[in-house]
Amino acid sequence: MKINYICDDCGEDFTLDGDQEVEGCIGCKGKKLGVKILSNNGNPKILALGVYLSLKRNGKIKVNDDGVEYADIYEKVEGEESKKEIIRFDYDEELVEKFRRKDLLDLIKEEISKSHLEDDNLKMSLFLTYVSGLLNNPARRQSFQITGRSAEGKDNIQISCLKHFPNGSYIFLTSATQSVLEDDLHKYPIIAFSEINLFKESGANRGLLEVIKQRTELGIKTAKKDIRVQNKEMRLEDSEQGVVTFGTTEAEQDEELSTRFLKGTIRATPSRIKVVNDNTLDTFSDIKKLMRLMEKKDSWIKTGLEHFWKNKPKYEIIIPYAKFLKEKIDGVQIFDNSDPRSQRDIKRLLSLVCATTFLFQEQRDTFISDGTEFIISEPCDLINTLKYANEFFEQTYTGMDLRISDALDFIKSKGKGVWIDKLEIQEHLNIKHRSTINNYLWDLEQKGFIERSKGVQLNERFGLRSYKGNHIYYTSVQKEFKKRLISVQLNKLKEFLDSKCAEISVQFDENNKITRQDKKEFSIFDTKEVKNEHLKMNTSEVESQEIKPVCDDKLKIEAIKIPKEVSK
C-alpha cells in the first residue's frame, strides 16, 4: 500500500510504501508532514501524519474496492448545497476533549483572542449572545449593542466572534434595507451590523430601527402585495425572533431599543492600544503569524458548534436551580425587585445561561419528555455566565452608557461640592470633540446626577475669583445612583448554590416540575436516563464514590429523577 505524503514546510509531495519508515520530507527534511487521503465520501483530504497514524491504529483508515485507503470519519453537513464535510464529532479526539473540559469558556476566549486582543468580558458576552442564536427556542435569542468611539474595534470584535460560527447561521452587514430584512434574511438566526447610528440625521442604517425592534422581540411579521403575481395577491412574511448585534458611536439610547439589547462599551485605554500595536508589529515581522492569518481551516469552535447546531437533536434547556434564586442570602434578595427592568434582565440572564449550557452539552445530562429532548443546566453555568457578563447586565440595568458613567465617576471622585471645569472632564476622558462631552454632561444633568453653572455665577455665589468667568463647571448632586440586577456578591451566590445543592436533591414530579426532596431519601443518580454516554456510571460506581461534576464539584445538583412516563 502506497502512502502519499505532503510537506507542510515546503509543499513538496512524495510517495512511499506503507511499510517504509518516514523521518521527514525528502526535499527540505522538514518534520511536519501530512497524508493525502480520500474521505469516506470520496473527496480528497489532507490529514496530519499523527492523526493518520492514530486513525489507522483505531481502525478508521479503511481500503475501498479499488485498493485505495480512505478515512471513515467524515459526515456531510446537512443543509449545505456544496459537498462540504466535517470530521464526525466523536472521531475528532482533540475536539471532543476540548468540549468536555471544565475550562471550555477560557479555551474559547483564548481562541477568539487570536484575532481580538483584550476586552475579554465583552467578547465572551458577545460570543454567548451569538450562541443564543443557535438555541432551538427563538425566545432565548438575545441581542447586543457595542458602543465606542471610531476605530476602537467594534467591527473586529464582532467578526472575531462570528468567524467561529457555522456557515449559514449568521450574516455580517454594513448596510441593508427594510425590505431585505423582512423578506430575505429569515434563514439567518444571527444578523450583525457594522454600525447603526440612530441620533444623527444621516446616521448609518438609521431607517432600520423599527424593523430591528420587531426582529429582536417575537420576530418580523409583515403582510404585503406579492410582486411575483403582479400584486394580485397578498403574501405573509413571518420570521422568528433572532439575534441582532451592532456597533455604534452614540452614547444616547432609544428607550424601546434598550429593552431588547444588552449593552457593552469598548474603551481604548493607552495600555490596550499598546498591546494591539505591539501585536501588529510582531505580526508583520513574523512569518508564522502571517501564515496563521492566511489559514482558511475552520476553528475547533466552529466545527463543534456546527455539529451541535446541524447534527445534534434540537434540545430545549431546563434550569432546575432557577427557583432557588427567589430566596434570600443573608437577608438580601438575590435579584433586585424594586425596578421593573429586572423583569426584562432576569430573562436575558437566564437566556445567556441557556447558551452556556448549550456549549457544555457534552458535559450535561439529557432526558426526553413528551418527545422533546432537554439538556439539564447546572449551577456552574450561571456562575460562568456572570463571570463574563455581569458588568454588562449592570450597565444595561442602570440604563447608562459606560462612557457617560465614566464622566460621572470622575466628577464624583473630586468630592462633594467640588466644581470641575468642563475642559478638565473632557481632557480626562480623552474626548476630542466638544459636542461629544456636551452630550454626555447634558444626559447626566437631565437625569439629576450633576449640576451645571457658569464660572461667573460661582464667583458671585462664593465671593471668590477662583473660577474662569466664561467657563462651564459641574458638580455631583447625588451620592449613590447605581442599582445592581444581582444584589449579592458572586462568591456569596456560589456559596449559596453550593449549600442548597448539598442539602437537597432535585427531581421531576409527575407534572415535570422541579421539586425539592431530602437528599437522604434519594441519593442514587439514575444513570439509565443519561444520554451522554461518557457521563454514564454504573450503580456500583455511584454507590462507592461521590459523583463529581465536570464544572464545579460542589455545585452539582446531585440527583435528578426522571418521571416514570418519560422515556428515552
Q: pLDDT digit string (tens) for 255-274?
A: 677 778 888 888 777 888 88
Q: Per residue of the chain (568 residues), give pLDDT as tens.
A: 788 888 887 888 888 887 788 878 888 888 888 888 888 778 888 887 877 887 787 778 888 888 888 888 776 655 555 556 666 665 667 788 899 899 999 999 999 999 998 899 999 999 999 999 999 999 999 999 998 888 888 999 999 999 999 988 999 999 888 888 888 888 899 999 999 887 676 667 777 888 888 898 888 877 777 766 677 777 777 788 999 999 988 766 666 777 788 888 887 778 888 888 998 898 888 887 777 777 777 889 998 898 888 777 788 999 988 989 999 998 888 888 887 778 888 999 999 999 999 999 989 988 888 888 899 999 999 999 999 988 877 766 565 666 777 888 888 888 888 898 989 888 888 787 788 788 888 878 877 788 889 888 888 888 777 888 889 999 988 655 556 788 888 888 988 887 887 665 545 545 544 444 333 332 223 333 445 544 443 333 333 333 333 354 444 444 444 443 443 3
Cα dihedral across residues 290, 292, 295, 298: positive or negative? negative
72, 92, 115: which is the final residue of a domain? Answer: 72
CA atoms within 13 A on the CB side of 474: 26
Q: What is the pLDDT of residue 536?
A: 45
Q: In this structure, are residues 384 and 551 in contact, taking their beta carbons and an 8 Å threshold?
A: yes
Residue 223 and residue 368 in one domain? no
Please give the pLDDT value at position 102: 92
Q: CA neighbours within 13 Å on the CB side: how many for 391?
A: 16
Q: How far is CA 505 from CA 81, 141, 366, 519, in A?
A: 48, 30, 17, 5
Asked whether residue 61 falls in the same domain as residue 152, the answer is: no
* pLDDT value at residue 543: 36
The CATH number assigned to the domain holding 169 equals 3.40.50.300
Number of domains forming the structure of the chain = 4
Q: What is the pLDDT of residue 386?
A: 93
- Whole-angstrom distance, CA of residue 378 vs CA of residue 268: 36
489: its cell numbers: 456578591
Cα separation, 394 vs 489, whole angstroms: 13
**Domain membership flag for residue 81:** no
pLDDT given for residue 461 in this prediction: 84
The number of angstroms, rounded, from the C-alpha of 389 to the middle of its chain's C-alpha atoms is 9
- Predicted TM-score (pTM) of the model is 0.69
* H-helix segments, 236-328: 255-258, 270-284, 287-294, 300-306
Rounded Cα gap, residues 523 and 13, in angstroms: 60
Q: Domain check: are 112 and 166 in the same one?
A: yes
Domain boundary among 276, 306, 336: 306
CA distance 396 to 245: 15
- Residue range of the domain that includes 379: 313-397+486-561
462 and 367, same structural domain?
A: no
Same domain, yes or no: 237 and 153: yes
Say if residue 166 is in the same domain as residue 300: yes
Angle 40-44-48 (CA atoms, 0-180°, nearest 5)?
A: 90
- Judge if 64 and 115 occupy the same domain: no
Q: What is the pLDDT of residue 552?
A: 46
Which of 288, 306, 324 finishes a domain? 306
Are the CB atoms for 310 and 166 separated by under 8 Å?
Answer: yes
Q: How many CA atoms lie within 13 A of 134 on its CB side?
A: 30
Q: Is the domain of 50 the same as that of 136?
A: no
Residues 157, 207 share a domain: yes
Please tell me whether residue 373 adopts helix, strand or coil conformation: strand
**Does the residue 117 lie in any domain?**
yes
Burial (CB count <10 Å: 0-12, 13-18, 19+), residue 522: middle
Phi, psi of 191 (to 5 degrees): -125, 125
Three-class SS state of 261: strand
